Amino acid sequence: MGWLKRLGYQGLSLRECMPYITGQKAGKVAAITFDDGFVNVYQNAMPVLREFGFTATNFFVSNQIGGSNEWDRPLGVLPAACMDADQIRQWLSAGHEVGAHTMDHVHLSELPEEQAFEQLLSCKEKLEAITGEVVDSFAYPYGDQNDKVRELVRKAGYGVAGGTDRRRAAGSDDLMNLPRLTVRRDDTSLHFIAKCLLR
């Protein structure tokens, strides 16, 4: 976050970044997104975002609100708690965005169309019931998508979806497949700066 600030970027939620991506506004901005809605983001990232005056988007798994990363268990990933409804509302009231990440963190391209659509729509509806706001942003679990899946995301009523192409977004990008750069815990400052400036 410090390096974003030093490089002159304003960190914003995806929703707030959209006018910059589509060219209605000009400025040096970076969309900050987190997948999975973990409590560790609530505990560790929220205070830092506040310190820098940044906002961010978190993509929540609607059947694991107050739960954990059940979907990671078969892969041997350590358990991590997901935010509960109250924490999600606090995330929202701190100025951040609530985005969707399916009901069960599924591989959308592997599901029958009807089930994939249900995963998209029910997640949106549940998050909207919790927040009282329209949920417009979506991220594909595992980055798993294809033409059919992108069409279902649009049909479920989302306006923008983050994929896993690793580069900066441009106005010409498909809003159902916006690229994103990953920031990892073992990225050095130099790695991070290079990603911000070069990709």
Please say which residue, 104 or 173, places its beta carbon nearer to Zn ion. Answer: 104
Determine the interface stretch with Zn ion among 36-44, 124-132, 179-187, 191-199 (rule: CB under 5 A): 36-44
Residue 191 tokens read as 């790695």
Q: Nearest approach, Cβ of 141 to Zn ion (angstroms)?
A: 5
Asked whether position 16 contacts Zn ion by CB under 5 A, the answer is no
Please say which residue, 36 or 136, places its beta carbon nearer to Zn ion. Answer: 36
The residue number with the shortest CB distance to Zn ion is 35
Exposed, middle or buried by CB within 10 Å (0-12, 13-18, 19+), for 190? exposed
Question: Residue count at the site for Zn ion (CB under 5 A)?
Answer: 3
Asked whether position 36 contacts Zn ion by CB under 5 A, the answer is yes
Task: State the SS3 of 131-182.
Answer: HCCCCCEEECHHHCCCHHHHHHHHHCCCCEEECCCCCCCCCCCCCCCECCCC
Q: Mask of contacts with Zn ion, 135-164, x by CB under 5 A?
A: ------x-----------------------
**Near Zn ion in 100-129, by CB under 5 A:** none
Please say which residue, 80 or 194, places its beta carbon nearer to Zn ion. Answer: 80
Q: Nearest approach, Cβ of 72 to Zn ion (angstroms)?
A: 9
Determine the interface stretch with Zn ion among 33-41, 80-88, 113-121, 163-171 (rule: CB under 5 A): 33-41
Q: Which residues have C-beta within 8 Å of that of residue 58, sequence separation ≥ 6?
A: 33, 34, 35, 36, 37, 41, 83, 91, 96, 97, 98, 99
Q: Nearest approach, Cβ of 22 to Zn ion (angstroms)?
A: 25
Q: Nearest approach, Cβ of 35 to Zn ion (angstroms)?
A: 4
Determine the interface stretch with Zn ion among 24-32, 35-43, 125-133, 145-153 (rule: CB under 5 A): 35-43
Q: What are the backbone dihedrals phi and psi of residue 189, each rounded to the nearest 5 degrees, phi first? A: -55, -40
Which of 35, 127, 137, 177: binder of Zn ion (CB under 5 A)?
35
Contact residues for Zn ion, defined by CB under 5 A: 35-36, 141
